[in-house]
């Protein structure tokens, strides 16, 4: 199950007040008589076999195989080989020291109506993007808040106001009344490669300033736009998948490259288990982040308008190629979007796009158009179509859809509408 809302950790007042008990493990020490690495074995006749010592009475006695003085366990690698390891560690240390001051904890407090006033209801993360107090986080971190408290790494706190939210991308822009803040550098998510090292900084389970590392596991994933409903009408494309540990409370925090640039906003995890912290979903090595290029586009719109508009084609459904092949349909092409339905009066309907004909029992009676290219660029599937649509167009733009129809390619001009709420 993919958990988006749950990644904003719900914490008790005790946790918020620092009342979480720590678990202390026993120390393990080396036994006093243990043999140091590199010393001779018990059966060897080395220098120690002839060693002598004196008793308190002054009598000299031979001591056989006296243990050598304890020595530190040597490093497994020579100093010359450790240089690269030390440099890698220093990169992470330096990155944390530079970026952590710009990462914040956000407490969402709400009025429950019980007469107890505004009470903490959830906690997440965020990061400062400008010296004058603008902060990026997830929409589900701030949703429903009557009060937002932003806690900084130096121990100070400020109340924030919401500038704008976008449930489709699960992003929000908030602002505190403070200047001179440390802020992050935004990276280019189009340059992200699978396998590259990434770092997450956030506040899992309320543990402020936690850094974890991993790699980019995959690109181009999709998530439903609704945190509460996995059957949302629209999907958020180009999501970055990572194995860096992300847990409840990491929501809204930055996913960074090794230079310390933000390449994504940690948003959701896929989890089949729960942790002991209030039985919340916990990390299973599959986390998701909204890419930085989406973040930049959305935040710019929120800063200016307080909301975001999205282009709209009006395709109501699509048929997976695997299902069409299993039904022995004669497709004629090997990839694309098999259109199941179109919204009446919508942009593609006005452009003349032909959907499949489906019987009452759900069987496909006749194929309609198969979208194979968008503005001249080949399309593999529906997710790629939506990604290209949202990345490069806006409502009112005219685009060209190339469709496979009756054994040949046909270009349709479509004037995009605005995605309905």
Looking at 125, 251, 271, 292, which residue is catalytic?
A: 251
In this predicted structure, the answer to whether residue 334 has a pLDDT above a threshold of 50 is yes
Per-residue pLDDT, averaged over 107-120, amounts to 88
Delimiting residues of CATH 2.40.10.120 domain(s) in the chain: 1-12+81-308
Any catalytic annotation for residue 251? yes
Phi first, then psi: give them for residue 158, nearest 5 degrees.
Answer: -140, 145
What average pLDDT does the structure give for the chain?
Answer: 81
Any catalytic annotation for residue 307? no
What sign does the dihedral 225-231-237-241 (CA atoms) show? positive
Delimiting residues of CATH 2.30.42.10 domain(s) in the chain: 311-418
- Specify the higher pLDDT residue, 106 or 340: 106
Looking at 166, 170, 208, 238, which residue is catalytic?
A: 170
Q: How confident is the model at residue 51 (pLDDT cuts 50, 70, 90)?
A: very low
pLDDT at 272: 59
pTM of the model: 0.76
pLDDT at 358: 78
pLDDT at 225: 66
Residue listed under structure tokens 């100070």: 156
What is the homologous superfamily of the domain 311-418 according to CATH? PDZ domain (2.30.42.10)
Q: What is the pLDDT of residues 239-292, one digit of tens each?
A: 999 999 999 999 999 999 999 999 999 998 876 555 544 556 666 789 999 999
Closest of 207, 192, 196, 290 to residue 247, by C-alpha = 207
**Euclidean distance between CA atoms 278 and 72, whole angstroms:** 43
Which 8-state DSSP code applies to residue 416? -
Question: Which residues, 6+ apart, have CB-to-CB distance to 277 below 8 Å?
Answer: 9, 205, 248
Q: At what angle do helices 382-392 and 292-305 cross, to 10 degrees?
A: 50
**Euclidean distance between CA atoms 211 and 127, whole angstroms:** 14
pLDDT at 271: 64
Pick the CATH number of 1-12+81-308 from 2.40.10.120, 3.50.50.60, 3.90.1150.10, 3.40.50.10260: 2.40.10.120
Looking at 140, 189, 238, 257, which residue is catalytic?
A: 140
Any catalytic annotation for residue 3? no
Question: Which residues, 6+ apart, have CB-to-CB distance to 289 below 8 Å?
Answer: 239, 240, 242, 255, 263, 264, 265, 266, 267
Residue listed under structure tokens 């995605």: 419
**Euclidean distance between CA atoms 184 and 262, whole angstroms:** 7
Q: What is the pLDDT of residues 80-89, one digit of tens each?
A: 777 887 888 9
Closest of 134, 129, 138, 145 to residue 183, by C-alpha = 129
SS3 at position 186:
strand
pLDDT at 136: 98
pLDDT at 211: 98
pLDDT at 283: 64
């Amino acid at each position: 199950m993919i958990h988006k809302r749950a990644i904003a950790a719900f914490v008790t007042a005790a946790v918020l007040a620092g009342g979480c008990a720590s678990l202390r493990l026993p120390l393990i020490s080396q036994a006093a008589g243990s043999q140091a690495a590199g010393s001779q074995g018990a059966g060897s006749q080395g220098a120690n076999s002839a060693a002598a010592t004196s008793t308190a009475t002054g009598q000299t006695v031979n001591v056989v195989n006296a243990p050598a003085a304890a020595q530190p366990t040597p490093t497994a690698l020579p100093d010359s080989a450790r240089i690269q390891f030390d440099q890698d560690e220093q990169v992470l240390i330096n990155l944390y020291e530079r970026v952590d001051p710009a990462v914040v904890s956000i407490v969402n407090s709400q009025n429950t109506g019980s007469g107890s006033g505004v009470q903490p209801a959830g906690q997440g993360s965020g990061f400062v993007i400008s010296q004058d107090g603008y902060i990026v986080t997830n929409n589900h971190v701030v949703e429903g808040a009557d009060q937002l408290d932003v806690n900084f790494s130096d121990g100070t706190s400020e109340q924030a106001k919401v500038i704008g939210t976008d449930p489709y991308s699960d992003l929000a822009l908030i602002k505190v009344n403070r200047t001179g803040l440390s802020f992050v550098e935004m990276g280019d998510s189009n340059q992200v490669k699978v396998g590259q090292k990434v770092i997450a900084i956030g506040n899992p389970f309320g543990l402020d300033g936690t850094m974890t590392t991993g790699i980019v596991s995959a690109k181009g994933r999709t998530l439903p736009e609704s945190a509460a409903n996995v059957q949302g009408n629209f999907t958020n494309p180009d999501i970055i998948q990572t194995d860096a540990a992300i847990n409840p409370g990491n929501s809204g925090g930055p996913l960074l490259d090794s230079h310390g640039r933000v390449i994504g906003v940690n948003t959701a995890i896929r989890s089949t288990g729960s942790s002991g912290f209030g039985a919340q979903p916990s990390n299973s090595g599959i986390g998701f982040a909204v890419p930085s290029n989406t973040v930049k586009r959305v935040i710019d719109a929120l800063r200016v308008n307080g909301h975001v508009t999205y282009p709209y084609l009006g395709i109501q459904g699509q048929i997976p190629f695997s299902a069409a092949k299993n039904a022995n349909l004669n497709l004629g092409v090997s990839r694309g979007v098999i259109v199941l339905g179109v919204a009446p009066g919508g942009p593609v309907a006005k452009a003349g796009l032909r959907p499949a004909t489906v019987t009452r029992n759900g069987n496909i009676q006749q194929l309609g158009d198969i979208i194979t290219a968008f503005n001249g660029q080949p399309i593999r599937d529906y997710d790629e179509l939506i990604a290209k649509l949202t990345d490069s167009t806006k409502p009112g733009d005219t685009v060209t859809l190339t469709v496979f129809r009756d054994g040949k390619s046909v270009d349709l001009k479509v004037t995009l509408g605005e995605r309905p709420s």
